[in-house]
Structure 1
Amino acid sequence: MTRTVDDLRNEIRVAVGRYERIESTGFTKESLAAICDALDHDVETNPFPPKAEMRAGIRSKVDDLDDDPDSADRPFRKAELETLEATLRDESQ
C-alpha cells in the first residue's frame, strides 16, 4: 500500500521524537525545528525562525532535495517527504 503525504509526515514526526497527528496538517514550527536538529542544522528555538527558513535549512542538509530558495516558501511535496523520511531513517540506523 502506498504511503500518503500524511503517513510520511507522521513517520518523519516520529523519527524526530515528535508525536503523530490524527488530522491532516503540515509541519509545525516545533516539528520543523526537530527535523533541523535531527539533521544537525542549528536553529534558534526562542523564538523559532520562519518556517521557510527552517525548510531551506532542511533542504540544504538533504542531498536529493532542491535547495532553490523559492522552494522553501512552500510545504514539502510527497517526493520530498519520501526523500526526507529515507534520510532520517538512514541516520537513525
Structure 2
Amino acid sequence: MTKTVGDLRNEIRRAVGRFERPESTAFTKESLAAICDAVGYDIDTSDLPSKSRMRAGVLWTVGVLEDDDPGEAERPFRKSELEAIAAELGDDA
C-alpha cells in the first residue's frame, strides 16, 4: 500500500522525536528545525530561520536541490520530497 503525504509526515515526525498529527498538516518551524538537525543542516536554533530557508536546507542536504536557496522551497514539501527525507532518515522514518 502506498504511503500518503500525511503518513510520510508522521513517519518523519517520529524519526526526529516530534509528535504525530491526526490530520495531514505541514511541518511547524520547530519540526523543521528538528528535521534540519536530523539530516545535518546547521541552523541557529536560538533564532530559527524562515520555513523556506529550513525546507531548502533539508532538500539540499538530502540531494533534492542543488543549493539551499529558500526561493526554491517556498511551499510545503511534496510527496517525492518527503520520500527523499524519509529515506535519508533511514529505517526510523
Corresponding residue pairs, total: 90
Counterparts in 2 of 1:1-93, with a 5 A limit?
Answer: 1-63=1-63, 65-67=64-66, 69=69, 70-89=71-90
Ranges of 4+ aligned residues in structure 1 off by more than 6 Å: none
C-alpha separation between the residues in 2 aligned to 1:73 and 1:3?
A: 24
Q: Normalised by the size of structure 1, how large is the TM-score? A: 0.87
Q: Write out per-residue CA displacement over residues 14-45 of structure 1, whole angstroms, 9 at most, x where no aligned residue.
A: 11111111122100001100010011111112
Return 5+ residue gaps in structure 1 as ranges: none
CA contact (8 A) 2:16 2:35 kept: yes
Same amino acid, percent of matched pairs: 60
Q: Write out per-residue CA displacement over residues 38-76 of structure 1, whole angstroms, 9 at most, x where no aligned residue.
A: 11111112221100010111111112x134633311111
CA contact (8 A) 1:59 1:66 kept: yes
CA contact (8 A) 1:56 1:67 kept: no
Q: Normalised by the size of structure 2, how large is the TM-score? A: 0.87
C-alpha separation between the residues in 2 aligned to 1:86 and 1:39?
A: 11
CA contact (8 A) 2:59 2:81 kept: no
CA contact (8 A) 1:11 1:85 kept: yes
What is the alpha-carbon root mean square deviation over aligned residues?
1.5
